[in-house]
Amino acid sequence: MSAQPGGFDPRLVAARPDLAAVHLKGRVAAARFVEGTVKRVIAATTPMRRTPAHDQPVDTEVLHGERIVVYESTEEGWAWGQLELDQYVGWISAAALGDPGAAPTHRVAALRTFVFPGPDIKLPPLAALTFGSRLAIVRAERAFAVTDAGGYVAVRHLAPVDRIEPDFVATARRFTGVPYLWGGRSSLGLDCSGLVQIALQAAGIACPRDSDMQAGFGKPVSFSGDLAALRRGDLVCWQGHIGILAEPGRLLHANAFHMEVAEEPLAQAIARIKAGGLEVTTVRRLN
């Protein structure tokens, strides 16, 4: 996706010719500038799109509890704004949003968990939340944590929001077998850059959303086809694709060939993707 006039990337800058965030006044041209209103996602997940239409491709997926600054709401039920977590800009369903409420205290640390209406696993669940979802917990009741919205979640499926998962490779490996889904960021389906982002975020590393952004993340590693130069945790990048070196010589990636998160020999992946016309563009190292 190309940058808009003035060199700004429309995925990361809340500016359009007719409307922009007030903090951009003097930096971009727009017909009007607005403050914006903070909302949080109350749906289990919700798609974010470049244009406000349900039949358009999904750019990214927003998880329960994430915050968004909304700059425009339409009569058709759309909200245009910018996510707080990774600064992504786009349109989401206004029905998926609620008041910001209390600050999140915990995140879902299991791949998936259920929200029950009471402290009883026999009750029909209200929702299913995915890894990385954020919750404000107000108290504990037996084996459950109670959210500020009155839902009950298994305590052992949660972690404090500031607790990090130090091994992002191990975190990414937990998603092995999860279906490939363009724009996805959940344990029900994700794409290549979604897998990288969700694993790094769990490790406390702020990570951009898309593969072209991630290709400039970290430090470049000199790579001329020598696989021995790479090490665990390196990000291997192609134009429009990215994967994680799970261990020397093995690539972990969400990909449309396997249609899932899969681990395979790196040499095999490089050869297959090269046969499709793409070479490795860069390798990035985070430490």
pLDDT digits (tens, 9 = 90+) for 272-284: 999 999 999 999 9
For the sheet containing 144-147, what is the strand order?
A: 137-141, 144-147, 152-154
Residue 196 has pLDDT above 80, yes or no: yes
pLDDT confidence bin for 224, thresholds 50/70/90:
confident
Lowest pLDDT segment from 1-15, 41-55, 65-79, 156-170: 1-15
Structural contact between residues 276 and 200, judged by C-beta atoms closer than 8 angstroms: no
Amino acid at 188: L
Q: Provide the pLDDT for residue 46.
A: 98
Q: Provide the pLDDT for residue 6.
A: 53
Residues counted in the chain: 287
pLDDT tens digit sequence for 103-116 = 999 999 999 999 99
- Report in angstroms the alpha-carbon separations of 129 from 20, 65, 72, 95: 32, 10, 27, 17
Q: CB count, 10 Å around CB of 268? A: 12
Residue 242 has pLDDT above 80, yes or no: yes
Q: Provide the pLDDT for residue 121.
A: 97
* pLDDT > 70 in the chain, percent: 98
φ, ψ dihedrals at 202, nearest 5°: -65, -25
Q: Provide the pLDDT for residue 4.
A: 47
Average pLDDT of 45-65?
Answer: 97
Structural contact between residues 24 and 15, judged by C-beta atoms closer than 8 angstroms: yes
Q: Provide the pLDDT for residue 82.
A: 98
Q: Provide the pLDDT for residue 3.
A: 41
Amino acid at 133: S
Amino acid at 36: G
Residue 5 has pLDDT above 70, yes or no: no
Q: Provide the pLDDT for residue 226.
A: 84
Residue 198 has pLDDT above 50, yes or no: yes
pLDDT confidence bin for 7, thresholds 50/70/90:
low
Take residue 206 and report the two structure tokens written for it.
Answer: 């702020």
Q: Provide the pLDDT for residue 270.
A: 97
Distance of CA 7 to the CA centre of its chain: 24
Measure the CA–CA gap between 197 and 110, rounded to whole angstroms: 17
* pLDDT > 90 in the chain, percent: 94
Residue 1 has pLDDT above 80, yes or no: no
pLDDT tens digit sequence for 12-53 = 999 999 999 999 999 999 999 999 999 999 999 999 999 999
Q: Is 222 exposed, middle or buried (0-12, 13-18, 19+ CB in 10 A)?
A: exposed
Structural contact between residues 106 and 134, judged by C-beta atoms closer than 8 angstroms: yes
Measure the CA–CA gap between 35 and 47, rounded to whole angstroms: 23
